[in-house]
Amino acid sequence: MKLHPGRGLLFLLVVAFGPARADLGPGSAEGRAHAYRDDAGLYVSSLEGDWEHPLAAAWSLRLRTVADWITILSPAAPDGADAHAGHAGQTHDHAEEEDNTAAADAVSGASARVLAGAADAREFRAGGGLGISWRGRQGNSPVTLSLDARGSHEPDYRSASAALSGSIALFQSNTVIGGFAGMGRDRIDPPEAPPGQAGLWPADQTKLSGGLSVFQSLTPRLAVSGGASAGFQGGRLSSPYRNALVGITYFPERLPGERLRATAFAAAAYYLGWGTALHVRDGLYADDWGVRAWIPETALAKESGRWLMTLRHRFYAQGRADFYRPVYPDRSGYQTGDLRLGRLYDQSGALAIEYRLASGANPIRLSAEYAFSHLEYPDLYPRTLLSHVFTFGIRTEY
Total structural domains within the chain: 1
> Is 90 exceeded by the pLDDT of residue 276?
yes
Q: How many CB atoms lie within 10 A of CB 51?
A: 14
**Residue 222 is part of a domain; what is its CATH number?**
2.40.160.40
pLDDT in tens, 301-360: 999 999 999 999 999 999 999 999 999 999 999 999 999 999 999 999 999 999 998 766
> Is 70 exceeded by the pLDDT of residue 274?
yes
Give me the chain's average pLDDT, please.
84
Averaged pLDDT, 235-245: 92
pLDDT in tens, 155-169: 899 999 999 999 999
More confidently predicted of 10 and 324: 324
Nearest to 259 by CA among 53, 21, 390, 100: 100
Instruction: Give me the pLDDT at residue 331, please.
Output: 93
Measured in residues, the chain has a length of 398
Residue by residue, DSSP assigns 203-233 as EEEEEEEEEEEEEEE-SSSEEEEEEEEEEEE
Query: For residue 262, which amino acid is it?
Result: A
Q: How many CB atoms lie within 10 A of CB 186?
A: 21
Instruction: Give me the pLDDT at residue 191, please.
Output: 87
More confidently predicted of 106 and 140: 140
Q: Give the C-alpha separation, 263 to 167, whole Å.
A: 19
Q: Where in the sequence is the domain holding 230, given as residue range(s)?
A: 5-397
pLDDT in tens, 32-63: 999 999 998 899 999 999 999 998 878 999 99
Q: Write the burial class of residue 344 (CB in 10 Å: 0-12 exposed, 13-18 middle, 19+ buried).
A: buried
Instruction: Give me the pLDDT at residue 6, please.
Output: 43
Give the model's confidence band at 95: pLDDT under 50 very low, under 70 low, under 90 confident, else very high. Answer: very low
Averaged pLDDT, 267-271: 97
pTM, 2 dp: 0.82
Give yes or no for a cis peptide into 5 (omega within 30° of 0): no
Instruction: Give backbone dihedrals phi and psi of 110, rounded to 5 degrees, phi first.
Output: -80, 150
